[in-house]
Amino acid sequence: MERGTFLYEVWVARWSLLSGFGITVSSAVLTIIIASLLGMIFGIALTYGWRPLRWLIRLYVDMLRGIPVLVLILFAYYGLSLFKINVPPFWAGVIALGAFSTAHIAETIRGGIQSLPHGQTEAAKSIGLQFHQTLAYVIIPLATRRVLPPWMNTCAEIVKNTTLLSIIGVVEFLLSNQQAIARNYMVLQFYLFATGVYLLINFTISQFGAMLERRFAHLRY
């Protein structure tokens, strides 16, 4: 390990880089879980919900899709304390990312449900399934299979959006690289390194998505 080489510098900054990687992955995973659950509920409510509720959710979704995610993150960071919610920047960021991605996933799921052929629900009715059974055994499985590709895209988007947490001072992977750069001025090496790692994360996600698509191929029609 020669002093002053890139590998040596990575070794020096290893703990900071690893913790940054951990923060990136954990914020992404948390956001994906929150956004997927809420997005599913919102998406179903958008299609089958009580009308005023539908309007409310529609308003929420349209508003959040028209605002940049960075604005939401900064708003949460500066504004949550006004609501007597005192959280560290990490959580402010995750809340903002979650709210933003929820809107996107809700819209995806609504599209997925509405693109299902009518015959599927008709058939479920004709064999005497209740509405909640139809939802659980027909609509959700089929729609899930249908929205897998855009949902995976959203997951990759979420991983990319976690870099914005660095702007509110959360030391995620990008910021940990920048801190390393501040020490040794190896601009190109460290940015390329960061790019490579993000590519790897997103490549893993898309491989995982492809695997899910193969596994649930029987749900295509």
Partner 1 sequence: MNYNFNWSVIWRNWDAFLNALLLGLGMAILSLLIGCVLGLLLAYARTSTSKWLQWSSWAYVEVIRNTPLLLLVFMCYFVLPEFGIRFLDKVESFILTLSLYAGAYMAEVFRAGLSSIPKQYVEAAKSIGMRPWQRQRWVVLPVMFRITLPALSNNLISLFKDTSLAAAIAVPELTFTARQVNANTFRVMESWLTASLLYLVTCYAIALALRAVERRYASIR
CB environment 94-113: b (16+ within 10 A), e (fewer):
bbbbbbbbbbbbbbbbbbbb
Residues with Cβ within 8 Å of residue 52, at least 6 apart in sequence:
none
User: From the list 33, 53, 71, 211, which residue makes contact with partner 1 (rule: CB under 8 A)?
Assistant: 71
- Count the residues of the shown chain that bind partner 1, applying the rule CB under 8 A: 35
Which residue in this structure is represented by tokens 């958008």? 46
- Report the alpha-carbon distance of residue 65 to residue 216 in Å, rounded: 29
Please state whether 128 falls in left (phi above 0), alpha (psi between -120 and 50) or beta: left
Binding status of residue 70 toward partner 1 by CB under 8 A: yes
Nearer to partner 1, 8 or 203 (CB): 203
Q: In whole angstroms, how close is the CB of 82 to partner 1 at the nearest point?
A: 6
Q: 24 to each of 17, 18, 66, 170, how far by Cα in Å?
A: 10, 10, 25, 9
Q: In whole angstroms, how close is the CB of 209 to partner 1 at the nearest point?
A: 13
- Residues 76-135 touching partner 1, rule: CB under 8 A, are 78-79, 82-84
Nearer to partner 1, 14 or 65 (CB): 65
Q: In whole angstroms, how close is the CB of 85 to partner 1 at the nearest point?
A: 10
Residues in touch with partner 1 (CB under 8 A): 63, 66-71, 74-75, 78-79, 82-84, 156, 159-164, 166-167, 174, 178, 181, 187-188, 191, 194-195, 198-199, 202-203
